[in-house]
Structure 1
Amino acid sequence: MIRVAVLAQPDCHASGIHGVMDFFTVAHYCARMDAAATGFECHIVTVDDQPVRGYSGALVTPTCDRAAIQPDLIVIGSAIEAALVDRGLERSLAAAEPVFGWLRAAHERGAMLASVCTGSFILAAAGLLDGCVATTHWRAAALFRRRFPAVRLEESELVVDNGQVVCAGGATAFVDLCLYLVERLASPAVALACSKLLVLDNRRQEQTPYMSFYGHKAHTDAAIHKAQTWLEAHYAGPVAMDEVAAVAGLGARTFKRRFKEATGETPLGYLQHVRIEAAKHLLESSGRQTSQVIWAVGYEDASSFRRLFKRTVGCTMEQYRRRFSYVVPSAGRRQPRPAEV
């Protein structure tokens, strides 16, 4: 029997905590159908053995005290505010500090540790991601890099396996993480049975299609702020970087250096991200042909933009539209009549 402890923190993604619990309960049921497979026993624990309030206001109640279980696997749920602001992160880390020693002791004992979404911040703060590769929610990536520069972050990845430490991306990636862990700890057959029973897609690989670009503006360089604002307003027309440098009141070389220092992007890279976000919005919200979308965001070379879009977003423009468009077909459009029998 594999003992699983799911760590819930204040402001956690409550459905994710209960989702992990439910998933391993289903995995245990599926494992019973396979005499060779290992079953699971899952419990919810908290830092102080008291119920915690999730971000939605839902109460998450521990099913046992932390001292009462010696888990083979610990899954750390997300703390949603940590993905949004620095003060949310500091509050989450301070609240979780009492479990750092518990996590390290479990790791030394040979237990597997896994995180969902911003749970990776807890692993990193406890020193358990040193020398490892991590992933986290894409929106928390910049904050993670600033806080833990020694950890290699791959935010485009949905699940990263370091052997004894495994990280998963956004909040609902707990599903992908659980499938992966069940396949590794029980068997591929049990994982597939879970996927079918819960009607889940077990083929997601990356967070990339879900990622949005938010130009980093939490810096104090007023000249670069001005350049960012200008680029975001004029991306659809021809853009010469010398012109943008002039807007910032800087020489070309100084402008490029300061832009990179302030934003983490080159001016050209920043412009490309702005244009890709604009294209994604048009693909989501309009029925324009893809060639029209490309021209609308300031590109004349359609094949070049298509390559850039696929490399950055992880799928083609057509695939992105099929996945994320919320445009309802015109009510006046004639629908095909069902075939007569």
Structure 2
Amino acid sequence: MFRVAIVALPRCHASGVHGILDFFTVANYCGAPPSGTDESLFDCQVVTVDDQPVRGYSGALVTPTIARNDFQADLIVVGSSVEAAIGAEYLDRALAPAKPIHGWLLDAKARGAVIASVCTGSFVLAEAGLMDDAVATTHWRAAPMFRDRYPDIRLDENQLVVDNGQIICAGGATAFVDLCLYLVERFASPSVALACSKMLVMDGRRQEQTPYMAFYSTKAHQDEAIRKAQGWLEAHYAEPVTIDEVASVAGLGTRTFKRRFKEATGETPISYLQHLRIEAAKHLLESSREQTARIIWSVGYEDASSFRRLFKRTAGCTMEQYRKRFSYVSPAAA
């Protein structure tokens, strides 16, 4: 029997904790031997830092099912803290409750246990020193904060699941489903994982979180000239724009403007403008049935082929595929 410990931290994604527990319970059902014996594939338990119940971000109570030190897990899954994906100002508060288990996680790795994270649980693994030689993924919105805090750790936020062998990371909060499918496939069998997906009426494991990403402009800096340029770009992105023109709006020389813009936002002026245009195109694909060529022109591009390549590279899918997945306007209504 493979022993799984799910770590529930204060203000965690409670449904994720319970969802992992439910998934492994379904795996036990789907993988039950024909003889009908009581032997299960997985012994899955919920643990907390101090063996006491915790409140999830939603206010739901998450109760441990076993004392943490009484259960020697083969696999430990660290759930997410919702606040870690909201903003850097919450990050220290979100990570502080996990400090007492850093040693426990390191000891578990030393004895051969597999350590996995969901969403911003990767921050906990990084804080504990478990990610130094691994590739991480995390919620796409928390990626800039992860890079700032752990500049020496390689991050690939495009991926939903990254397996380093003993360290496994999953992306956004509901990627716990993709992680569970992967773990059942790895530690039980592909046939049991497929049976779980059918039993739970879900598609096979997704590969990327790129299509779900959205661009959030960074304005939490002290450079007022660059903030002024950002506002101007957000109002004029659909028009022909030159960097010299934006630099003039900021009251700076072009070379100085480029340098300060990158320092303040983490983006070049050109990439910032491209992100604004892509987000505008996404909104139109979601909210209208306008022809894609007209959408391209409306966001400031004349070269349709160039924009389509940029869109696919950024969103991980074509404009048509994006509309099919995310549009909330039916053809009949349009």
Shared fold (TM-score, shorter chain, > 0.5): yes
Q: TM-score, normalised by structure 1?
A: 0.94
Distance 1:328 1:163 in 2: 44
Residue correspondence of structure 1 range 151-230 to structure 2 within 5 A: 151-230=153-232
Secondary structure of 1:167's counterpart equals strand
Contact 1:209 1:320 in 2 (8 A): yes
How far did residue 38 of structure 1 move? 7.6
Distance 1:202 1:249 in 2: 52
List structure 1 segments (4+ residues) > 6 angstroms apart after TM superposition.
none
Between 194-203 and 102-111, report the one with greater CA deviation.
194-203
Q: What's the counterpart of residue 24 of structure 1?
A: 24
User: Aligned pair 1:237/2:239, yes or no?
Assistant: yes
Distance 1:72 1:34 in 2: 25
Contact 2:119 2:171 in 1 (8 A): yes
Structure 1: stretches of 5+ with no match in the other structure: 334-341
Residue correspondence of structure 1 range 99-114 to structure 2 within 5 A: 99-114=101-116
Q: TM-score, normalised by structure 2?
A: 0.96
Query: What residue identity is the alignment partner of 2:110?
Result: E
Contact 1:209 1:313 in 2 (8 A): yes
How far did residue 329 of structure 1 move? 4.1
Secondary structure of 2:147's counterpart equals helix
How far did residue 87 of structure 1 move? 3.2
Secondary structure of 1:88's counterpart equals helix
How far did residue 33 of structure 1 move? 3.6
How far did residue 62 of structure 1 move? 0.4
Residue correspondence of structure 1 range 1-341 to structure 2 within 5 A: 1-33=1-33, 39-330=41-332
Q: What's the counterpart of residue 339 of structure 1?
A: none
Contact 1:114 1:166 in 2 (8 A): yes
Structure 2: stretches of 5+ with no match in the other structure: none
Contact 1:213 1:273 in 2 (8 A): yes
Secondary structure of 1:129's counterpart equals coil
Distance 2:313 2:190 in 1: 31
Query: What residue identity is the alignment partner of 2:245?
Result: E
- The Cα offsets for residues 208-264 of structure 1, whole Å up to 9 and x where unpaired, read as 000000012221111111111111110000001100011111111111111111111
Query: What residue identity is the alignment partner of 2:315?
Result: V
Distance 2:34 2:233 in 1: 59
Query: What residue identity is the alignment partner of 1:297?
Result: V
Contact 1:38 1:185 in 2 (8 A): no
Distance 1:38 1:58 in 2: 29
Distance 1:75 1:316 in 2: 34
Contact 2:181 2:205 in 1 (8 A): no
Between 88-97 and 69-78, report the one with greater CA deviation.
88-97
Using the aligned pairs only, state the percent identity: 72
Query: What residue identity is the alignment partner of 1:2?
Result: F
Distance 1:294 1:85 in 2: 32
Q: Report the number of matched residues.
A: 331
Report the aligned-residue RMSD. 1.4
Distance 1:284 1:239 in 2: 25
Query: What residue identity is the alignment partner of 2:259?
Result: R
